[in-house]
Every structure is written in C-alpha cells, then in structure tokens.
Structure 1
C-alpha cells in the first residue's frame, strides 16, 4: 500500500521561492513592502499546507467511511459486474468535512478487464462521494481491487495530498459453465435409473455404507453388520435422487486445466440442479464432503460447488498432480460405498492411479471424459487411449474429449457412448 504524502505543487514551490526571495531582498534593501509581500506568500504556503495536512489526518483517523460493493458477487468469468465505492464524510460535531473536492481513483487487477482501461463514473455531493466502474473478469480466481486512492489540493493550489483509504478487496471469479441436459435416456438403464431421479424397481430402495460417528444407531443394519464384522448403516434414497461425485484430474497445462474445471463444474452444477447431492473431488482444494454432510440440492448447492472451484490451482509437477488425484480417488472409495453416481474428468493416468479409479466401476456405474492430451492436441495419445480402454473394461461409460471443445458437445458424446470408447472428432 502506498504511503500518504503531502507535497507542494509547482505553484506552491514557485510561491515559496518567490516569498523567500522577496523577503531576503526586502530585508537587504530595507523595503518594508517587499518584506510584507514575501511574508504573505510564505504565510499562504504554510497555512494552506497545514490545513491540508490536518484534513488528511482527519481522513486517516476515521473521518471517512468507505463502503465497497461488487454486484453481482461472486461473478462468472466473461460476465459483467459493477464495483461501487462510496465515501461518506463522518461528522465531527455539527459539521462534516467536505469530500466533493477530493479526487478519487481505484486500481483493479488486469484479470478483471483483460488489461483494458476501466471507465469510471464519479458522483459528488458535499458529504458523499461515489465511484462506479464496470468489470468483466476474464480468468477464474480471486483478483484484487483497491485500495481507494484519494488526492486533494488546497484552495489556492499550493499543496497536494494523496494516499490510500480503506483496504483492498478480492473479487471472486467463478468458472464459466454450460447448462447441460441431464434427461437423456442414455442414463436410464435399470442399473442407474436413479441418475434421472427415477425410483429403483427394487422393493428395498436403500443402500449400505460404513457407520460414521454421529450416525443414528436406529439406522444400523444389524444383519449386514454381523456378516461383515463391522457396523454399516442404511442410506435411504427414497426421498430423492442418488448422490453423485465428480472427480477432477487437473493437468499442469493451464488452459487445459481451466477447461477441465469448466467441464467438471458444469457437470456438478447440472447434477445439483437436477436434485442430486453432489460433491467435487480433486485439486488442491479437495472439498471433502462426507456422504452424510453433503450439500443440499438445487441452486444453493450449485452456488457452493462453484465457490469451491474459485481457489483451485494447477499442479506444479506430475507427482503433485497424481498425488491430488490419488487423494480424491481414495476419498471416493472411503465415502462412496457404491451408492453414488461417479463422473470423472481425467487425462492420461499412470497405471496405479488408473487401476484404483477403475475399481469404482465394480460397485457403481461411472462416466468418464478422458482428455486426448494435456496440451489441447486433437490426436489422442496412446496413453489417453489406454486410460479410456482400461476404464471401459472396468464398466465405465467413456468418451475421449479434446481440451477446448464445447462442453455441451462433450457431454452429449458421453451420454451417447455405449460399450465403445467414443473418440473426439
């Protein structure tokens, strides 16, 4: 943050120099009028500067109340928002210092405008100053705006004060998502009818999972617990659709990673809005949400999932990438219990993590989009083909996708995949 500073303007420096010169000349020449004019100039500079310093100190000690609003917030990348900054003079006694003579400005991160200029509108009154400017974020993340920079000159223009007021704020930018259709009959098999919210045809519409601290003991399934040698509880699905997990594998390549986040976020939001309890696993912001603590459904759940994606970052090394994915898959195995739907957005996987992820297909049906490469190339590498084939053999529905493709197109390709690995065109 820049320091507050008071300095003389060129006019002030000229008056100061002229005043000193006239004062010295008047004393040496014995001309009283020159001494008086010189003293008047010096007094003007001194008093003006002192009054400006006092005003600045009043501002710094709480004489101004700053309010900043970002509407809407959080904002989606590529969408417009408005930053509103309001300065209100705080009354001291019966009067409040005037703020209509202040010059106001604010810096915003270049990610909020793609490096272009920001055009602001300023509205003034004696005790209130308001600054409005539009932003259009071009990158997901949290980007700073502020602090507010104020400046002011005295009435005679001999001194200038400038400095920051208030604290900077961070604008949360969510990924741009696509609205996906989840009503395709491609998901309506007897095995996964619940993906569309349909009731299972079985008389007992429940599933079992391991007991966790805090579970109601009345939900313990004692017969299965005795058979397994550990407590398990019933997970009733009559009241809604099956829970779902979206597994996200982030690559080192930034543009491919951002595209993967958009795909995963679009799928997660679509499932939440369709009535599923959804969690997103992957990256450094794992967001582990146990089954019995999953977020709700609908708009509120979608908002929560999008908030989770704001702080995701790309891995710095292949080892870190695999570590994040392995943690996500381990969490999936520990908390899933076969009762949930699994959707994955992954790249080329090494055998160990691939085998662990593929095992999910033994207990539930999974859908996977496998990136053709980590850098957006159209031709699928042998490792990408191997990853897709291994998941397909384990019971997953798989399609190859090209980074940068339209998300809705990739989704439709996944829904229309059968027992083949559908290749990106």
Structure 2
C-alpha cells in the first residue's frame, strides 16, 4: 500500500481564535505594562505553534475501507457510501474530519464529516452520493483532516486506496412484457422448435459475444475448454437496437469534469432507452443486440443474463472503439434505432441495420433544451435526420433528452403493437 500523502499543518478555526486572543493579550499587556497578560498571550500563541509542530512531526497512521448501499447504483439516483476508519497503533482517540474524492464532482470541505476514532477501535461516517452518472467510477483517496488533542491544529492526510462504484443505466418499465407481434411468427416457431431439446446437442468452441446460457457444461468438461450449443444459436427470436457512439452524433457532447472524456445528456438518455428496450424484448422472450451504426456489437442481452448486460452498458462511453461485429440482421428481426445527429452516409449505414421485410423504428432525440447545443437545423441535425428516415421508410418517433423514456417507448408502433 502506498504511504499516505501528508499536507502542511494548519491552524483550525479554534487555533486562529487562540492566536488572535494571544496577540490581543500581548498588546494589552504591553500597553498596561502587565507581565502576566503578556505571559498569558505568549503562552496561547506558543500552544498553537507547538501543536502545529506536533502534527508536522507525527500524524497517526489511518486506514479506510468503503462500502456502498446498494452495491450497484443506478444513473441519476443516489447511493449511501459508508467509510470505516481505523488508526492502527494509536492508543488514544484521534479526532478527524473526513471527506472523499469522487470522479464526477468536487466534494467540498464543508461536506466533511467529523468523528473520533477510538484508540484500538474504528469509526464510521456516511455520505449520500446523489445524481450519479453512469459508468464505473473510482472513489478515493479519502481526505482526512487529523486534529490534534487541543483542537487548535490540523493536518490534511490523503489516505491511499480506492473503491470501484458501478453505476448502471436506468431501466424504465414500458409495460409491454407480453409477447410483441414484432417478434414475428418465424421467431416464435424457431423458439418452439428448439425448446424441445436434445440429449446430445452439437457443440462448438465458445466465441466472444456468445451468451453464457448457451454453455454446454458436459461438453466443456470433456473438451477442457468452454463449449456452447450449436443449435441454440437461433433458439431465441432476436431484436436489434442501434446506438451511435461517435461524439459527433450527439451535439451536446462536452468533456467531463476530471476525466475529460466526452459526455452527453442526449447519449445518456439514449443508453437508458436502449437498456429499457432490450429488457422489454427480453420479457417477451427475445435476445437483443445493441450495436453501433456500422454493426459493431456493444452489448448482447440474454434474458437470463440481465445483470451482465447492464454492466456492459455501464462501460460504454462516447468514442468507444469496438471491433466485434454482430451477426447480419435477420429477416423480420425488429430494429429500433435511438439516434440524434447523423451524416448522410450514416443514414445509409443505419438503413443496412434492417433485415429483409423490416421497416424499422427510429427514435430521434432533439437537444434543443440544452442552451449550449447548436440550433436543430441544417444537414445532419435531428430534424433533418427525422425527415430523411421517414423518406426511407422508417417509423420515426421524435423526442428530446428530457422526455420521459417510458412515455416515448409506449408510443404506438415502437414495439410493433
């Protein structure tokens, strides 16, 4: 473990008050030629100086641990972080003020929690982390102000050690859990045909992107490597969600605080919509692939592996380079695209995400509510994209990044109903 980073000692508010009081006593004592007052003033100033020297020379060793409730958070919601502090080797109580370091905002000193670590024991403080952004975040190091016994001097210690907080995209209930007509009779027949099962199914080697539910454990044990059922590749009807990840496709993209990675409110709305669409298709018994405009696979939702799917979506960032291609669009495979700004060539690429006999649904996200976003006009803007997609046969639903995701997805026709 790395050594704690220690900052220069400083007087506390009490310490500053003691120094001011000492200076006044010295001034009054000199004015009145009163040695006792001068002595008292010098003693107060000396106390603060000695305390500063003391915390400069020696600060108790402090260790921290964290836990989050819930351990997996949801974007836009909050989580309670509990920090446990111990001071190994210290037999006397240690007074501290604690705050933590988070990636998405600055936690100010006024948000610190004051506690006392008992000698040989532990103390806990809690923080409410709200308005969480989606992704995997490092929390830490903890910033601990150690206050000496008289409470007049302190020293900030940066305690090493970080914890990971996973924030999943928000999934909203759409209310179309019954099997959608958009799944198609062919998909249902495929599923019914394969549900009978076989005693000795054909297997092949596991490839990246295969759902874990397809793993055949007996064959895996025999071969000594992960094997999947060959005939189950089409055991479930499938659906496709198209999600552009280029920052140029989201006009409100800007560098994030701290990481400087591009972030976009419109894109976050789209990720939540993509997650909700996939879960809804899963309730109807369908497997859903979330892909980019060029067909690269971002995440694959198997109804039996929803937590893993949401973690995959938590990892998606604007500008991601994805080199895993998804299977070609299947006939009658429902396609829902969640887009905003597209160039003409990207509109053509989006058209290739539809299989034979598929109309396709496009949810076009306007960003007019953001005052820093360029006007919704001109080539490539959401307005022009919506018009171009209608002309090429898409069912277009227009919305904005502050609309209720569930209400938009309940629009007639989105799920084929």
Coarse TM-score class (shorter-chain normalised): 0.5 to 0.7
2:100–2:142 Cα contact (<8 Å) kept: yes
The match for 2:261 is none
Q: How many Å separate the matches in 2 of 1:338 and 1:131?
A: 54
Q: SS of 1:369's equivalent?
A: strand
Give, in angstroms, the shift of residue 341 of structure 1. Answer: 5.1
CA distance 1:341–1:362, change in 2 (3 Å): closer
Deviation readout 1:374-423 (Å, 9 max, x if unpaired): 5477998354222134244xxxxx332322443333333234658xxxxx
The residue number in structure 1 matching 2:413 is 414
Name the CA shift for 1:262/1:154 in 2 (closer, same or farther; >3 Å): closer
C-alpha spacing 1:371/1:156, structure 2 compared with 1 (3 Å): closer
Residue 76 of structure 1, aligned match among 74, 77, 90: 74
1:247 maps onto 2:247 in alignment: no
Extract unaligned runs of 5+ from structure 2. 28-34, 199-203, 209-227, 252-263, 370-375
Larger helix proportion of the pair: 1
Q: 1:123·1:130 contact (CA, 8 Å) conserved in 2?
A: no
Deviations 1:172-225 (A, max 9, x none): 43332212323254325324436xx95269x999xxxxx98969xxxxxxxxxx
Give matches, 1:50-61, under 5 Å. 50-56=53-59, 59=60
Shift in Å, 1:87: 0.3
Which of 160, 165, 168 is the matching residue for 2:159?
Answer: 165
Is the aligned partner of 1:6 residue 2:5?
Answer: no
Contact 1:349–1:387 (8 Å) recurs in 2: no
RCO higher in 1 or 2 (8 Å CA, sep ≥ 6)? 2
Q: How many residues align?
A: 354
The one of 277, 280, 303 aligned to 1:267? 277
* Residue of structure 2 in register with 1:224 after alignment: none
1:339-418 matches, within 5 Å, as: 342-347=335-340, 349-363=342-356, 365=358, 367-371=360-364, 373=366, 375=368, 381-392=383-394, 398-404=395-401, 405-412=403-410, 413-415=412-414
How much has 1:72 moved relative to structure 2?
Answer: 1.3
Contact map agreement 1:268 1:302 (CA 8 A) in 2: no
Structure 2 distance, partners of 1:367, 1:382, is: 18
Q: Is 2:74–2:168's contact at 8 Å kept on the other side of the alignment?
A: yes
Secondary structure of the 1:381 match is helix
CA distance in 1, matches of 2:269, 2:231: 35
Change (3 A) 1:34 1:16: closer
The 1:89/1:138 distance shift into structure 2, 3 A limit, reads closer
Counterpart mapping for 1:72-111 below 5 A: 72-90=70-88, 92=89, 96-99=91-94, 101-106=95-100, 108=102
Q: 1:247 offset after TM fit, Å?
A: 1.6
Deviation at 1:137, TM superposition (A): 1.6
Shift of 1:86: 0.7
Q: Distance in 1 between matches of 2:344 and 2:197?
A: 37
CA distance in 1, matches of 2:361, 2:58: 63
Instruction: Report the Cα distance in structure 2 between the residues aligned to 1:14 and 1:382, rounded to whole angstroms.
Output: 68
Larger radius of gyration: 1
